[in-house]
Amino acid sequence: MYESFFGLSATPFSLLPDANFLFFSKHHKRVANLLEYGTIMQSGFMVITGEVGAGKTTIISHFLKNIGPNVSVGVITNPSNSFGSLFGWIAAAFDIEAEKDEIKIYNAFIEYLLAQYAKGKRTVLIVDEAQNMTVQMLEDLRMLSNVNSARDLLLQIVLVGQPELLATLKRNDLRQFIQRISVHCHLTALTAEETALYIRHRLSVVGGKPELFDDEACAAIHYFAYGVPRLINLLCDHTLMYAFAEDEKQITFDTVFEVVSDHNSSELSAFRHFPAGQTREQLQLALRQREEA
């Protein structure tokens, strides 16, 4: 809608986890490197956690985009025992045709793993939104990993989820599971400096000018979006829509403030609310001082 007005080749702040837009903050780069390292070094279990909208799925998309031909990957995107058993999800992830009987599905999957191993390929199972898994499903995963021997690793498992996943894994009845986790990394929110770099990185991907968002706008976006990439995308997208409607060629503090003011009138706003008693001018000054500090 506003792309041609700002000279952009595509929408820069889509909420979809597009690997082409991945910005490597300090923590995002660490997670991506550890995921690659764990895969190469044959880590049995890897766990990636982070708050909602932190960029976990985008990192997985990047990993899948760059995976080598010697790795067979299956992805479960939102496991829930309400829609079938774990083995049913696994069969679907690897396109394994099997009857509904779980024992037959299990045997078919073991045959699949052995066939991949015979071809010199490693098999990686990625479970996204793993915080939705039940304790029994996690225990089934642990038991499934017993297919790996001391010499041969047939299956690697990556769990990706929100912090609730950690709370589940710390349960006493899952202590055997947590002992098998070789790699764990946690994604945090972006800093103010990283937020500005993030915004300008996404603009550069679609041919946008870095000055489209001025420094005060970037500082305000970081503040109101808590440094969370998904919220940053949402706020940036809306500010571009507002600026387009007003025929403004640059996003400023005023644009961001207007968008957040409109959103904060709703109880469903995901953005940070203004501090009680603080005026617009006081907030702008506080953000400016924080940026200069």
- Asked if residue 92 and residue 162 are part of one domain, the reply reads yes
Residue 279, domain extent: 190-292
- Asked if residue 56 and residue 181 are part of one domain, the reply reads yes
| pLDDT: which is higher, 122 or 235 | 235
Nearest to 12 by CA among 203, 165, 146: 203
Q: How sure is the predictor about 203, in pLDDT bands with cuts at 50, 70 and 90?
A: very high
Residue-level pLDDT at 255: 96
- Asked if residue 51 and residue 103 are part of one domain, the reply reads yes
- Asked if residue 202 and residue 179 are part of one domain, the reply reads no
pLDDT in tens, 258-272: 999 999 888 789 999
The structure tokens listed for 1 are 């809608």
Q: What is the mean pLDDT of residues 238-246?
A: 97
Q: Count of CB atoms within 10 A of residue 277's CB?
A: 6
Q: Are 248 and 255 in contact (CB under 8 A)?
A: yes
Q: Pick from 147, 166, 187: which residue ends a domain?
A: 187
Estimate to the nearest angstrom the gap between the alpha carbon of 191 and the chain centroid: 17
- Asked if residue 124 and residue 107 are part of one domain, the reply reads yes
- Asked if residue 249 and residue 126 are part of one domain, the reply reads no
C-alpha angle 110-113-119 in degrees, rounded to nearest 5: 145
Whether the per-residue pLDDT at 83 is higher than 60: the answer is: no
Q: Pick from 171, 187, 203: which residue ends a domain?
A: 187
The Cα 124–Cα 157 span in angstroms is 6
- Asked if residue 153 and residue 72 are part of one domain, the reply reads yes
Q: Pick from 157, 172, 187: which residue ends a domain?
A: 187
The Cα 180–Cα 120 span in angstroms is 24
Q: What is the mean pLDDT of residues 60-72?
A: 90
Residue 19 placed within a domain? no
Q: What is the mean pLDDT of residues 8-37?
A: 93
- Asked if residue 198 and residue 87 are part of one domain, the reply reads no
- Asked if residue 149 and residue 56 are part of one domain, the reply reads yes
The Cα 18–Cα 162 span in angstroms is 19
Residue 14 placed within a domain? no
Residue-level pLDDT at 213: 98
Residue-level pLDDT at 284: 85
- Residue 127 φ/ψ region, left for φ over 0, alpha for ψ in the -120 to 50 degree band, beta for the rest: beta
Mean pLDDT of the chain: 90
Residue-level pLDDT at 293: 63
- Asked if residue 69 and residue 146 are part of one domain, the reply reads yes
pLDDT in tens, 96-152: 887 778 888 889 999 999 999 999 998 999 999 999 999 999 998 998 888 887 677
Q: What is the mean pLDDT of residues 241-248?
A: 96
pLDDT in tens, 157-170: 999 999 999 999 99
Q: How sure is the predictor about 82, in pLDDT bands with cuts at 50, 70 and 90?
A: low
Nearest to 179 by CA among 125, 152, 142, 124: 142
| pLDDT: which is higher, 116 or 1 | 116
The structure tokens listed for 39 are 């895969």
- Asked if residue 112 and residue 170 are part of one domain, the reply reads yes
Q: How sure is the predictor about 84, in pLDDT bands with cuts at 50, 70 and 90?
A: low
Cα Rg of the chain, angstroms: 22
Residue 180 placed within a domain? yes
State the total domains in the chain.
2
C-alpha angle 84-70-34 in degrees, rounded to nearest 5: 75
